[in-house]
Structure 1
């Protein structure tokens, strides 16, 4: 399937789901989700796979086991792409009634990855490399986020110009493209491609310095 844009029906579907997040609404609108949301997202990431790696679409159901919010369905469709053999660092895309969200980086690091990340941030070569890239992304309008400690971990210089980076336990950058007519066209593919390319240096740093975990990770 060739990506031709996100149909308006898919965005309207999510507006309805935000108002009525119920099994009844979902069952009644399931075909709209499949044809106007999931299929276009799959087509989009399939076309980008040659450059950014294969992608996995997230399931539409929420995991409510540990949440006070019992609504059963996500109000967005996301997908994450990885380049094989590069370990940490991924690309993300999400469509919702809000618009198109793109992101990249590492959302979850295991303890061995966190340790390698901190050593690299403290390094006099790799640390400034990351500092430059994070500052560049922030200056270009990206929001840089991630799980972080309230203090710099023990053993690291709290006066370091990279102290804020040392507090991170994960690191990713994202931006939202609000609704625009180009979402309904193939132009959306080029927006995602261009945005993901902007994140290439961040993901390269994570791949070079953090890599894959050596721990056995249980599937969630």
Structure 2
């Protein structure tokens, strides 16, 4: 089985977090290309059949620009932290219609000691949030299956860092998943340890995770009238 990332990949990201400046990055850009970006692009190619087995509407696009990979450069225009680079590399497996409308994604995150896989919608706009909440109220049984199945909850956790203090108004107080309507992000994720990220089982682990996350993503797609 193929490996993608290595200790050199993690070492580069640790060093980048420590030396977060343009001079250092440009002097070590060849390491970034060889140990982080190119292995990630190979992983995206190899994940394509695994993703296709889950949904024909999702893409793992290995293009260096405009594909699944996020830029390593940070957008500092409106940030207090002006560090020019991220200390991680991320990639999204996106819906074919994501450029025209809000759509859930699968997400892969490489960061020493903090790698993970996730899926869902991060910081959706208010109309999108409203549609999802109403869909949950209208379809509680399938929400229970998608987000609260025992096997799913053993493997993944719903994002809880940014939630409303109390449920939004206008929904029945006796709704069984009222607390879920407090979410501002509808994201499920799980951590992946460094040994797995640098080991030969990575692709098979991610393929199983994508398959296990698929019902959750399918539900969010249905809420937004998207094909899955």
TM-score normalised per structure 2? 0.82
**Aligned equivalents of 1:156 and 1:37: distance in 2?**
46
1:203 positional shift: 0.3
> Which residue number corresponds to residue 11 of structure 1?
10
- Say whether 1:192 aligns with 2:191: no
Aligned residues: 208
Q: Is the 8 A contact 1:3 1:44 kept in 2?
A: no
> Which residue number corresponds to residue 132 of structure 2?
117
Structure 1 segments of 4+ aligned residues over 6 angstroms from their partners: none
**Aligned equivalents of 1:150 and 1:68: distance in 2?**
26
TM-score normalised per structure 1? 0.85
- Say whether 1:175 aligns with 2:187: no
Query: Aligned runs of 1:1-220 on 2, under 5 Å?
Result: 4-52=3-51, 53-55=58-60, 56-85=68-97, 88-98=103-113, 100-123=115-138, 126-136=139-149, 139-145=153-159, 147-180=162-195, 182-211=196-225
- Which secondary structure state, in structure 1, belongs to the residue aligned with residue 28 of structure 2? helix
| 135-144 vs 91-100, which moves further | 135-144
Superposition CA RMSD, Å: 2.2
1:138 positional shift: 6.1
**Aligned equivalents of 1:99 and 1:153: distance in 2?**
32
**Aligned equivalents of 1:67 and 1:179: distance in 2?**
29
- Is there any run of 5+ residues in structure 2 with no aligned partner, and where? 52-57, 61-67
Distance 1:95 1:37, change over 3 A: same
